[in-house]
Amino acid sequence: MPSACGNAMKRLLIWGASDQAVVTLDCAQAMQMYGQIDLMGITTQKIRLFAQHRVMMEENVIHAKLFHAYDEVIVATGDNRLRQIRLQILEEYGIPIATIIHPSAIISPTAQVNCGSTILANAVIHTLARIGTGCIINTGAIVEHDCVVKDFVNMSPNCAMAGHCSVESRAFLGIGSTLSPAVTIGEDAVIGAGAVVLTDIPAHATAVGVPAKIIKQRD
């Protein structure tokens, strides 16, 4: 158990107060590192109620002044671009950015997880895998050996990446999707729930099905 000093007394602000914030809060509490956890809702998103936790709205506070009242801040929204924009604001203000990792997650000592990422319960980050800044690796997701997950990616629950895969920035992997070995998913691509990806998917494409086929290509 942590002591009553040091990390146990850290103050955490979760920037977000919708569904992603619910699981981020649970994960942060499980870490037993924070003596105070508050939340700040994102204007464009639905706000959940959080018993025993202070909830603010971002339009009602001066960000720089508020942020400096906390030891660390984590951005909690499933929207990849919103998460990127708000993490960039934190970096501009020089605010310490938290990395939230559930105690039940399994992370190889040779893996790398960058700041601002959230690794949820029972996720696995295997040998020599790399997780970028501001990613969400959801419940039970598997990132196998030598995989690269770039910045602001969102992996839904029970996704699985075989070895040597690469997922580019802001891509979204739907629940239960599977990537075969050495597949590359382009930036801003969307992989549908349950899809099995056997070949590379280009940037800005949406792919669904078994095997996954492109149904939409955005500019």
CATH fold of the domain at 6-98:
Rossmann fold (3.40.50)
Phi, psi of 32 (to 5 degrees): 55, 40
Look at 3 and 197; give whichever has higher pLDDT. Answer: 197
- What's the whole-model pTM score? 0.92
Out of 53, 68, 126, 145, which one is annotated catalytic? 145
Residues 6+ apart with CB under 8 A from 66: 13, 40, 56
| Segment 108-146, tens digit of pLDDT | 999 999 999 999 999 999 999 999 999 999 999 999 999
- 145 catalytic? Reply is yes
Cα 134 from Cα 170, distance rounded (Å):
10
| Segment 72-112, tens digit of pLDDT | 999 999 999 999 999 999 999 999 999 999 999 999 999 99
Delimiting residues of CATH 2.160.10.10 domain(s) in the chain: 101-210
Closest CA to 165 of 152, 146, 151, 150: 146
**Do 58 and 42 meet the contact criterion of CB atoms below 8 Å apart?**
yes
| Segment 6-31, tens digit of pLDDT | 345 899 999 999 999 999 999 999 99
Delimiting residues of CATH 3.40.50.20 domain(s) in the chain: 6-98
Mean pLDDT of the chain: 93
Class of domain 101-210: mainly beta
Q: What is the DSSP string of 49-107?
A: P-TTS-EEEGGGS-HHHHHTTSSEEEE--S-HHHHHHHHHHHHHHTPPBP-EE-TT-EE
Amino acid at 168: E
